[in-house]
């Protein structure tokens, strides 16, 4: 873009010799200040305007320069074209100044959004006891890089407790709801002895917050979520599913969808059917991996409108360590959608390390080849 003005002038120089003398190519220089405004600041646009006016006169007099005076150009050439170029140059200078202000504002917004995202979705430790954890977050709004998908991993006395969720809606309302839910989970994960109690505690916190909102706004702020607990001493994972896409259990050569036999309603809708949460207990042996994700993954569409086949794709990555698994998912999602995500996307991979492994980095990638 910065070379666009020079390319435009080069185009005119190539066009001038092949056009009739009666047709003044110099008129096309009127657009040069606007071309420059796309990539340069006001000072450069003003300089380009002066150049365009002068060069316009040169091009206009080129076919008959010999023996002609500058006054001849004013007699034979349309004076209005010089004035028009100058006026367009003033407009281009204003547009360039406005563009720079907008770019600075957007950069500030991005910086604030990234800071808020780091506070909301703080980095998860790579290893929690015998569990390796990696995360992925992709916002559909690239200019904001923040949305309503959420995840968390907390080491507790009851094992590693995981959460992934998807807030209904977008924007600041979704971010506020996500922040409230994460705060409630981080407290409840340490205090409640069973996983159903964690979900119940988060539900009550969401209900209290929703009651403070006017009208029906509170009832519309519901969250689908999966709570998971991986105890240190038992080769199992406990799961409470609140209207969320089922996790995937990844073994060495197989992928299993952990559909709940008795799923609960999304959080903040529990008042409609009580707060009874069913805990599923699934074998989770050393070397197994658990993949939690939001519907931004499974509902991603390609150009033909087909959904992303997550379980099918993951089967070819069974032996990948968590980081490589999520990196492969990231790249494959972008390839499937052509780089156009319609919804926020979050994923969390948890891998149980075999045996006693003191080396965190090496053992979190020991069952595959690290990138």
If you average pLDDT over every residue of the chain, what do you get?
81
Q: How many CB atoms lie within 10 A of CB 286?
A: 13
Does residue 218 have a pLDDT over 80?
no
SS3 197: helix
Average pLDDT over residues 138-167: 82
At residue 280, the pLDDT reads 94
- Contacts of residue 337, defined as CB under 8 A and 6 or more positions apart, other chains included, come to 300, 301, 302, 308
Would you state the structure tokens that stand for residue 283, as one six-digit string?
């074998």
Domain ranges of the chain: 4-111, 124-364
- CA–CA–CA angle 226, 232, 238 (5° rounding): 25
> Does pLDDT of 70 surpass 60?
no
Where b means 16+ CB within 10 Å and e means fewer, 42-64 reads: bebbbebbebbbebbbebbbeee
Chain length of the chain? 371
The DSSP bridge partners found for residue 155 are 160
* pLDDT tens digit sequence for 81-126: 777 888 888 988 998 899 898 888 877 776 666 666 666 778 888 9
Closest C-alpha to 47, from 60, 32, 62: 32
Distance CA 241, CA 236 (A): 16
Question: Does the 124-364 domain belong in CATH 3.40.190.10?
Answer: no
DSSP assigned state of 17: G
Cα–Cα distance measured from residue 201 to residue 195, given in angstroms and rounded to the nearest whole number: 10
Residue 371 has pLDDT above 80, yes or no: no
**CA distance linking residue 291 with residue 103, whole number of Å:** 38
pLDDT at residue 272 in the model: 56
The pLDDT tens digits of the residues spanning 42-66 come to 898 888 888 887 777 666 555 444 3
Q: pLDDT (tens digit, 9 = 90+) per residue, 328-349?
A: 999 999 999 988 887 888 999 9
3-state secondary structure of 78: coil
């Amino acid at each position: 873009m910065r070379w666009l003005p020079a390319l435009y002038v080069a185009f005119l120089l190539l066009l001038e010799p092949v056009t009739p003398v009666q047709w003044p190519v110099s008129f096309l220089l009127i657009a040069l200040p606007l071309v420059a405004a796309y990539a340069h600041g006001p000072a450069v646009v003003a300089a380009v305007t002066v150049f365009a006016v002068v060069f316009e006169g040169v091009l206009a007099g080129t076919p008959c320069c010999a023996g002609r005076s500058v006054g001849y150009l004013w007699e034979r050439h349309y004076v209005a074209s010089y004035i028009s170029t100058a006026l367009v140059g003033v407009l281009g200078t204003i547009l360039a100044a406005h563009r720079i202000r907008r770019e600075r504002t957007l950069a500030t917004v991005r910086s604030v959004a990234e800071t808020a995202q780091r506070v909301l979705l703080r980095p998860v430790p790579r290893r929690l006891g015998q569990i390796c954890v990696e995360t992925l977050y992709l916002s559909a709004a690239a200019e904001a890089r923040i949305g309503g998908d959420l995840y968390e991993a907390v080491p507790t006395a009851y094992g590693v407790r995981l959460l992934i969720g998807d807030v209904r809606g977008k924007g600041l309302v979704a971010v506020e709801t996500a922040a409230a839910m994460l705060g409630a989970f981080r407290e409840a994960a340490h205090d409640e002895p069973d996983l159903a109690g964690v979900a119940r505690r988060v539900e009550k916190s969401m209900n209290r917050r929703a009651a403070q909102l006017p009208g029906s706004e509170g009832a519309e702020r519901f969250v689908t979520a999966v709570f998971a607990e991986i105890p240190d001493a038992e080769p199992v994972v406990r799961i409470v599913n609140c209207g969320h896409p089922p996790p995937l259990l990844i073994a060495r050569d197989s992928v299993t969808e952990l559909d709940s036999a008795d799923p609960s309603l999304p959080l903040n809708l529990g008042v409609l059917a009580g707060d009874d949460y069913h805990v599923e207990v699934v074998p989770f042996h050393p070397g197994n991996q658990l993949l939690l994700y939001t519907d931004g993954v499974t509902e991603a569409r390609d150009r033909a409108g087909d959904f992303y086949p997550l379980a099918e794709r993951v089967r070819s990555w069974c032996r990948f360590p968590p980081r490589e698994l999520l990196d492969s998912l990231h790249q494959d999602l972008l390839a499937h959608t052509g780089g156009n995500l319609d919804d926020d996307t979050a994923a969390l991979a948890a891998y149980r390390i075999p045996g006693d492994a003191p080396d965190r980095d090496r053992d979190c990638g020991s069952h595959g080849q690290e990138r």
